[in-house]
Amino acid sequence: MPISEVHNCDCLEFMRSLPDNYFDLCIADPPYGIGISNNPFRQKHDKKLWDNQIPTNEVLLEMQRVSKHCIIWGGNYFNLPPNKHFIIWDKEQPFDFSSAMCEYAWSNINSPAKMFRYRVTTEKNKIHPTQKPVALYAWLLDNYGNGGGKIFDPFLGSGSSRIAAYKKGFDFYACELDKDYFQAQEERFRAECLGENKQKDGSVIIQTALF
């Protein structure tokens, strides 16, 4: 059974305690600094201020220090060095779609640029306003996970990366600062990966067969 270790903490403090190249791959989806809670199309979740500022340069450098390779979503918003490899997630939406038709990820991997096509509206009942699909992370792990390396996500959010890593058999480590999101992803992980479903009265029902 793979390790799935997550922390409700500041990722910078966590990374400062680690040696160089501790992880094989860091897959991060940091705040883009665009104030997502003010987007009129993102009003299904509680308004929070986590997306009002981008990560500091120290955070970005630490992600690269503690990981052999990095994939950073929203790389177009950050001060990152040029590299020939980048990843595009094509959301398969029409030109007049109310939000971005695609997303860009910077990486320091030495290979040609790649594209993943997956409809953004496929996943329902999202617990986070910028939740990315498990299928996207599964594709990243299949192509860049080095056949079972140690994975790190410093901005866990909805926990999609954690679910994909667990189902793919990767050891996984992550940080999430927001207590509400941390608890929500924990319940989601336990439901989707361990078959635990929390009831309204607080009790937990365990599904004995997941597949």
123-173 pLDDT per residue, tens: 888 988 889 999 999 999 999 998 888 999 999 999 999 999 999 999 999
Give the whole-angstrom CA distance, residue 100 versus residue 39: 12
DSSP letter assigned to residue 175: E
| Residue 198 structure tokens | 């929390």
Q: What is the three-class DSSP state of 111?
A: coil
At 148, list the tokens: 């079972």
User: Rounded distance, CA 67 to CA 15, Å?
Assistant: 10
Residue 46 predicted with pLDDT over 60? yes
The gap between the terminal CA atoms of the chain, to the nearest Å, is 16
C-alpha gyration radius of the chain: 17
The pair of structure tokens assigned to 97 is 């779609």
Tokens of 126: 């999202």
202: left (phi > 0), else alpha (psi -120 to 50), else beta? left
Whose structure tokens read 């009002």? Answer: 52
Largest CA distance in the chain: 52
Question: Could you report the per-residue pLDDT of 167-191, keeping only the tens digit for each?
Answer: 999 999 999 999 999 999 999 999 9
Q: What are phi and psi of 159, to 5 degrees?
A: 85, 10
The pLDDT of 95-110, averaged and rounded, is: 90
Residue 52, pLDDT score? 76
Residues 6+ away with beta carbon under 8 Å from 61? none
Average pLDDT over residues 42-71: 84
The predicted model scores a pTM of: 0.88
